Amino acid sequence: MGSAGGEVRHWNADVNGISLHVAEQGPVDGPAVILLHGFPELWLSWRHQMAALAGRGFRAIAPADAAAYTVLHLVGDVVALLNHLRLPKVFVVGHDWGAQVAWHMCLFRPDMVRAVVAIGIPFFPRGDKPMTEAMAGRDGFYAMQFQEPGRAERAFARYDVATVLKKFYSIEIDVLTAPPGVEIIDFLEARSSPLPWMTDEELGQYAEKFQKSGFTGPLNYYRMFDTDWELTAPWQDAKITVPAKFIYGDKDIGLKSFGTEQLVKSGAFKYFVPNLEVVTIEGHHFLQQEQAEKVNSEILSYFDKFSGALIKQSQKYTFEMAALAGRGFRAIAPDLRGYGDSSAPADAAAYTILHLVGDVVALLNHLRLPKVLVVGHDLGAQVAWHMCLFRPDMVRAVVAIGVPFFPRGPKPMTEALAGRDGFYIMQFQEPGRAERTFARYDVATVLKKFYSIEIDDLTAPPGVEIIDFLEARPSPLPWMTEEELGQYAEKFQKSGFTGPINYYRMFDTSWRLTAPWQDAKITVPAKFIYGNKDIGLKSFGTEQFVKSGALKSFVPNLEVVIIEGHHCLQQEQAERVNSEILSYFDKFTGENT
Active-site option among 37, 95, 104, 285: 285
Q: Is 248 a residue of the active site?
A: no
CA triple 398-234-353, angle to 5 deg: 75
Residue in 37, 69, 73, 96 annotated catalytic: 96
Helices (H) and strands (E) in the chain, counts: 32, 12
Residue 477 identity:
L
Strands (E), 42-201: 59-63, 90-95, 113-119
Q: What SS3 class is residue 276?
A: strand
26: left (phi over 0), alpha (psi -120 to 50) or beta: left
> Between the CA atoms of 139, 140, 145 and 146, what dihedral angle is there, to the nearest 10 degrees?
-130
Is 584 considered catalytic here? no
∠ Cα 287 288 293 (to 5°): 105
- Annotated catalytic residue: which of 142, 222, 248, 488? 222
Give the HSE-up count for residue 17: Cα atoms under 13 Å, Cβ half-sphere: 14
In whole angstroms, what separates CA 544 from the centre of its chain? 28
Q: Write the DSSP string, 424-474.
A: HHHHHHSTTHHHHHHTTS-HHHHHHHHHT---S--BPPTT--HHHHS---S
The residue count of the chain comes to: 593
Active site residue 284: no
> Which helix H or strand E contains 165, and what residues bound it?
helix 161-169
Cross-sheet strand order for the sheet of 9-15:
9-15, 18-25, 59-63, 32-36, 90-95, 113-119, 244-249, 276-281
Catalytic center residues? 96, 222, 285
